[in-house]
């Protein structure tokens, strides 16, 4: 499934439709619920306890269906959804945060310390998945879930984004697959 171009190995991934079942290792898929329904497990289980929440509309342009880096936020959950319910894509890998008290017990792992202070194991190339998000639903990413995107086929798209006011300044760790693993991921869509 891999081909080589420009000295990078292209890894083709087929998108998986994001459902509560298919996405559960990375976070939640939240779909419409009846007005007046009480809070429950079907609702986004957010953790915004480490700062001031920020809900905003994010305007993105030219985000083709490929990526060579992936990011995580260790201190906060994040919610993303397209305005208008248009289809979009997100590359993900499971959280790989390491508790500092357990570092001595982790054998053989490539443990790194983020410039933000926390410890983590970089995501493995084989652990990366791509999800397609269709219709009026949004994703809640668990703390530490690696993510690349949103990516989309349109020229521009708008997304609502719920995180902390300073997430991208104090809690933004990126792994560069192109530099560290010599790969780029391309969606087979």
Q: Would you list the domain boundaries of the chain?
A: 8-30+45-187
Of 76, 89, 96, nearest to 25 by C-alpha is: 96
Average pLDDT of the chain, as a whole number: 93
Task: Write out pLDDT tens, residues 102-161.
Answer: 777 666 668 888 999 999 999 999 999 999 999 999 999 999 999 999 999 999 999 999
Across 96-103, average pLDDT: 84
What pLDDT sits at residue 101?
Answer: 78
Provide the whole-model pTM.
0.92
- CATH class as words, domain 8-30+45-187: mainly beta
Q: Which two tokens stand for residue 107?
A: 């054998």
Task: Write out pLDDT tens, residues 21-53.
Answer: 999 999 999 999 999 999 999 999 999 999 999
Grouping H, G, I as helix, E, B as strand and the rest as coil, residue 133 is strand
């Amino acid at each position: 499934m891999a081909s080589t171009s420009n000295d990078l190995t292209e890894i083709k991934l087929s998108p998986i439709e994001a459902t509560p079942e298919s996405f559960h290792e990375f976070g939640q898929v939240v779909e419409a619920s009846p007005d007046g329904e009480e809070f429950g497990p079907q609702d986004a289980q957010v953790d915004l306890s480490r700062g001031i929440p920020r809900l905003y509309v994010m305007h993105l342009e030219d985000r083709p269906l490929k990526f060579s880096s992936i990011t995580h936020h260790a201190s906060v959950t994040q919610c993303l959804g397209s305005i208008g319910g248009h289809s979009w894509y997100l590359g993900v890998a499971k959280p790989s945060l390491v508790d500092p008290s357990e570092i001595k017990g982790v054998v053989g792992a490539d443990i790194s310390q983020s410039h933000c202070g926390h410890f983590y194991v970089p995501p493995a190339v084989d652990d990366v998945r791509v999800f397609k998000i269709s219709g009026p639903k949004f994703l809640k990413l668990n703390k530490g879930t690696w993510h690349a995107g949103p990516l989309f086929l349109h020229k521009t798209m708008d997304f609502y984004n719920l995180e902390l006011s300073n997430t991208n300044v104090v809690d933004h760790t990126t792994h560069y697959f192109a530099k560290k693993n010599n790969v780029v991921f391309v969606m087979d869509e």
